[in-house]
């Protein structure tokens, strides 16, 4: 497959940015909406306080089970089944809590990055030449459609087709 000229890609990127800057308020709102939708689809809002409450309760049950076993010597099969059930639920909740926390951190980092992009876009009117820092800030990937067209896929999920 033939390669595209880097200079032409850079010129195409500059044209894309200038197109975006014409209606930057609309672009900014679309970027923020897309990010919010993506995170809402990925994360069901979970109340961490509920998870923590259930974890505390289960840890209490587990401690009570161990004490009961030490005092009375429960049947090993019953003890093992109950211990496994409680321990399994505790692990599920810990995993759920960790994934919610990681997702929230990722969401916050993405919003911070979008805030930075928003500030940069609002401060600009046009660009005259390729700006590598702006490119890295805005573009997630470039898809080659054919020898004369490419699609700049922005970090916000917006794709813009441009002629090279």
> For residue 141, what pLDDT is reported?
92
- Is-contact 20 122, C-beta < 8 A? no
Q: Is 139 left (phi over 0), alpha (psi -120 to 50) or beta?
A: beta
* H helix or E strand, kind and range, residue 162: strand 159-163
Are the C-beta atoms of residues 16 and 149 closer than 8 Å to each other? Answer: no
Report pLDDT for 138: 86
pLDDT on residue 77: 94
Q: How much is the pLDDT for 2?
A: 57
Q: How far apart are CA 46 and CA 131, in angstroms?
A: 41
* pLDDT value at residue 67: 95
Domain presence at residue 133: yes
Q: What is the pLDDT of residue 64?
A: 95
pLDDT at 159 (0 to 100): 85
Distance CA 120, CA 122 (A): 6
> How many domains is the chain built from?
1
Q: Which of 142, 115, 124 is nearest to 28 (CA)?
A: 115
* Burial readout 103-132 (b: 16 or more C-beta within 10 A, e: otherwise): eeeebeebeeebeebbeebeeeeeeeebbe
- Per-residue pLDDT in tens (0 to 9) along the chain, 164 residues: 557 788 998 999 999 888 888 888 887 787 777 777 766 655 555 677 889 999 999 999 999 999 999 999 889 999 999 999 999 999 999 999 998 888 778 777 877 887 788 888 888 888 888 989 889 988 999 998 888 899 999 877 778 899 88
Q: What per-residue confidence (pLDDT) applies to 82?
A: 95
Residue 144, domain extent = 6-163
Determine the Cα–Cα distance for residues 155 and 145; give it in Å rounded to an integer.
19
Position 68 in a domain: yes
In a domain, 1, yes or no: no
């Amino acid at each position: 497959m033939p390669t595209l000229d880097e200079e032409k890609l850079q010129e195409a990127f500059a044209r894309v940015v200038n197109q975006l800057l014409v209606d930057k308020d609309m672009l900014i709102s679309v970027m923020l909406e897309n990010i919010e939708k993506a995170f809402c689809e990925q994360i069901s809002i979970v109340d961490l306080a509920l998870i923590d409450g259930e974890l505390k309760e289960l840890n209490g049950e587990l401690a009570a089970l161990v004490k009961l076993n030490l005092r009375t010597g429960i049947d090993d099969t019953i003890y093992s089944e109950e211990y496994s059930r409680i321990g399994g639920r505790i692990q599920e909740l810990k995993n759920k809590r960790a994934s919610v926390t990681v997702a929230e951190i990722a969401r916050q980092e993405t919003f911070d990055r979008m805030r930075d992009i928003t500030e940069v876009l609002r401060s600009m009117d046009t660009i005259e030449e390729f700006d590598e820092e702006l490119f890295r800030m805005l573009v997630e990937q470039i898809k080659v459609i054919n020898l004369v067209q490419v699609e700049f896929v922005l970090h916000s999920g917006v794709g813009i087709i441009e002629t090279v």
